[in-house]
């Protein structure tokens, strides 16, 4: 059953308020202890059904991959394998790509999660969040979070999630010209003999109590220390100089976010920042996606 032939969905990006690595599985996957936060900057995916079969991706960016290796295409195939559905039509996805790549903002994961949500709605398969996340985790560690979103403590390889209250604040996100691939970031971490550790319990208490200054004092990303990149250090300092309460690299980088008490102070700070390949003023959002009607 097809519920609609056209659907637009926002795929919200994410930042990591904390990211620690607590172990490594035999298969090479790192065990995480991280607090993820959905933010209001997004990619926009426009799904259209027509006669034919298969999936076609379109995007104005020449650098956007449109073949079988794209995570949207992988999500399409994973959804079909899980549901055993015969789509019976061609699916065209036009992607308005706003989230940068190699930034640590979950842009690819957000697109995959939005694809699973859109297909579930359009073809009325009525999968549970748990079922969607079981599809998503095979696509990437951040995909289960992006399927749900909000503010969550994520553990394991990212699939074990606990809901948290969202902080009352705003963010400015900037990205240097340099990008950092996720495999590169974790490989650099593996080379460190005695990495710093996150005091996650303290951070979680401040998040639970809505204490923004306490949250800002306990932001942590072990991959930022592992990266040890001059461009990251410069971005952190620039955000602090602009008035951020604190600043941190998100995920595996190279985007860096600054925390501000409100959207007005974030916008004022953003006006002072120039020369970055990406800049976004945003706020926390309570889910990882949103249909656009």
Q: Is 156 left (phi over 0), alpha (psi -120 to 50) or beta?
A: left
Q: Is 208 annotated as a binding residue?
A: no
pLDDT at 182: 81
Among 10, 14, 111, 120, the one annotated catalytic? 14
**In this structure, are residues 51 and 185 in contact, taking their beta carbons and an 8 Å threshold?**
no
Q: Is 179 annotated as a binding residue?
A: no
pLDDT at 15: 99
Domains of the chain: 6-164+286-292 (3.30.230.10), 170-282 (3.30.70.890)
* Global confidence as pTM: 0.96
Q: Is 5 annotated as a binding residue?
A: no
Torsion of Cα atoms, 206 then 208 then 209 then 211, to 10°:
40
Task: Please indicate whether residue 14 is annotated as part of the active site.
Answer: yes
Q: In what order do the strands lie in the sheet with 256-260?
A: 246-249, 256-260, 170-175, 278-282
How do the pLDDT tens digits run along the chain, 293 residues long? 899 999 999 999 999 999 999 988 888 888 999 999 999 999 999 999 999 999 999 999 998 989 999 999 999 999 999 999 999 999 999 999 999 999 999 999 999 999 999 999 999 999 999 999 999 999 999 999 999 999 999 999 889 999 999 999 999 999 999 888 888 888 888 888 778 888 999 999 999 999 999 999 999 999 998 787 899 999 999 999 999 999 999 999 899 999 999 999 999 999 999 989 899 999 999 999 999 98
Q: Is 243 annotated as a binding residue?
A: no
pLDDT at 5: 96
Residue whose tokens read 């209250």: 165
Among 43, 111, 120, 142, the one annotated catalytic? 142
């Amino acid at each position: 059953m097809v519920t609609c032939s056209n659907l637009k969905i926002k795929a919200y990006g994410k930042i990591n308020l904390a990211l620690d690595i607590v172990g490594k599985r035999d298969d090479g996957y790192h065990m995480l202890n991280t607090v993820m936060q959905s933010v209001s900057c997004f990619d926009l995916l426009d799904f259209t059904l027509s006669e034919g079969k298969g999936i076609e991706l379109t995007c104005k960016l020449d650098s956007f991959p449109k073949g079988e290796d794209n995570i949207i295409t992988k999500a399409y195939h994973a959804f079909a394998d899980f549901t055993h559905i015969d789509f019976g039509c061609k699916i065209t996805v036009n992607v308005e790509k706003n989230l940068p790549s190699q930034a640590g903002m979950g842009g690819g994961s957000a697109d995959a999660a939005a694809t699973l949500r859109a297909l579930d709605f359009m073809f009325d398969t009525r999968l549970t969040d748990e079922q969607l996340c079981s599809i998503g985790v095979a696509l990437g560690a951040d995909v289960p979070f992006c399927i749900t979103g909000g503010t969550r403590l994520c553990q394991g390889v990212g699939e074990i999630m606990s809901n948290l209250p969202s902080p009352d604040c705003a963010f400015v996100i900037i990205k240097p010209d340099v990008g950092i691939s996720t495999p590169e970031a974790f490989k650099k971490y593996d080379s460190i003999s005695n990495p710093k550790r996150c005091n996650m319990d303290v951070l979680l208490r401040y998040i639970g109590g809505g204490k923004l200054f306490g949250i800002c004092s306990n932001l942590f990303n072990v991959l930022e220390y592992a990266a040890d990149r001059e461009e990251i250090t410069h971005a952190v300092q620039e955000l602090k100089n602009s008035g951020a309460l604190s600043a941190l690299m998100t995920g595996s980088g190279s985007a860096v976010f600054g925390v501000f008490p409100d959207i007005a102070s974030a916008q004022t700070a953003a006006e002072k920042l120039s020369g970055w390949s990406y800049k976004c003023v945003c706020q926390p959002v309570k889910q990882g996606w949103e249909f656009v009607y």
